[in-house]
Amino acid sequence: DGILLRVEDLQVQIGTDDGIIRPVDGISFEMPAGKTLCIVGESGSGKSLTGRALMNLLPDRMKITRGRVLYRNAAGQQVDIGALPPRGPAIRAIRGAEISLVSQEPMAALSPVHTIGQQIEIVIRQHLGLNRKAARARALECLNDVGIPRPAERLDSYPFEFSGGMRQRVCIALALACGPRLIIADEPTTALDVTTQANILDLFKKLQAEHGLSILFITHDLGVVADVADQVAVMYLGKVVERGPVDDIFHDPRHPYTQALLKSVPTLSRQRVHRLAAIRGMVPSAFARPTGCPFHPRCDHAIPGVCDQREPPDIALGAGRTASCVLLEQAKPAPARSAASRS
Ligand code: SF4
Ligand code: MG
């Protein structure tokens, strides 16, 4: 059905001395094959942990406590990634090979004491079982693919010898090395200047077109979303509050949080600086999670006695769209003009 990965009611929990926190709290969405899904949200929304949960790559004290991550693997089998032992062979055959990660800080993802050729070759030899010579040829191909000039020479360079933008290209080459089907890119352009950012976004689009990659793009930046997304999932405090095709989300946002986010952005040109700062109030701490709708303390439409009491359900709005807000409950299923409303 063209769906590469289906997340169903995913919950991630961490036990702390001060109690249990659920940074990802029952989210559902789908990743269409060969497309880009952007998860957009403020810091603390749980978007990065969602990306890591999809690879079963959570920090030590966190675990998936509910839900499924259903992935259709290269052999055509459906695998629940969340149910695989986090360090076992089954997940290792997927992680880094079929699904790979590009993170915000390229320096942290690379070893400073090995050349980039060595680093890419190790991954290739581990996953694809190629000999040294074939691995080197494949590494060269990857550097070429991501637009690094003089790739044959650059294979023997160390990470510090590259600019920030080129270093991120190296990380993307590393992520591509084993021919993945899905790349999870967590704020991959946030640390870069605007021009370099635009070049890297163009690179993702080129790679997607050439290799049919699915991309999960995690960002706080609506300008980035406008540039690369096919589908959008808006996260707030561990919930996906709205999702749908990018044009629908931008032109007809239905959830008050999405509406507020879009109002906070002056224009969607990527030449501008984008921030999600204009919504009144602060994102509450994970320990002080609001009851009912998590957005109610900041929502201009909150209904006292309702929004602070009852968690709104995901409401299907048609055409792959959902939003979770009580205001939309009456609206479903989006009717043509009824006899009653004409009277
Ligand atoms: Fe606002 Fe209530 Fe809708 Fe939450 S459920 S977004 S508080 S109106
Ligand atoms: Mg993050």
Looking from the CA of 293 toward its CB, the CA atoms found within 13 Å total 26
Containing 240, the helix (H) or strand (E) segment is strand 239-245
Where exactly are the structural domains of the chain? 3-98+180-328
Q: Name residue 63's beta-bridge partners.
A: 13
Q: Is 250 in the pocket of ligand 1 (CB under 6 A)?
A: no
According to DSSP, the β-strands at 62-72 and 78-80 are antiparallel
Q: At what angle do helices 116-128 and 132-145 cross, to 10 degrees?
A: 120
Q: Are 197 and 270 in contact (CB under 8 A)?
A: yes
Alpha-carbon gap, residue 11 to 70, rounded angstroms: 14
**How many Å separate Cα 154 from the centre of its chain?**
30
Alpha-carbon gap, residue 103 to 86, rounded angstroms: 19
Cis peptide before 335 (omega within 30 of 0): no
The pLDDT averaged over each successive group of 10 residues in the chain (343 residues) is 93 89 95 97 93 93 96 94 91 92 87 95 92 95 96 96 94 95 95 92 97 96 94 96 96 95 68 52 77 94 95 91 93 50 40
Q: Is 234 in the pocket of ligand 1 (CB under 6 A)?
A: no
Q: Are 315 and 324 in contact (CB under 8 A)?
A: yes
Question: Which bound ligand lies closest to the C-alpha atom of 310?
Answer: 1
Q: Is 256 in the pocket of ligand 1 (CB under 6 A)?
A: yes
Structure token digits, residue 153: 């020479």
Distance 146 CA to ligand 1 centre (A): 43
- Determine the pLDDT at residue 275: 47
Distance 304 CA to ligand 1 centre (A): 10
Fold of 3-98+180-328: Rossmann fold (3.40.50)
Distance 229 CA to ligand 1 centre (A): 25
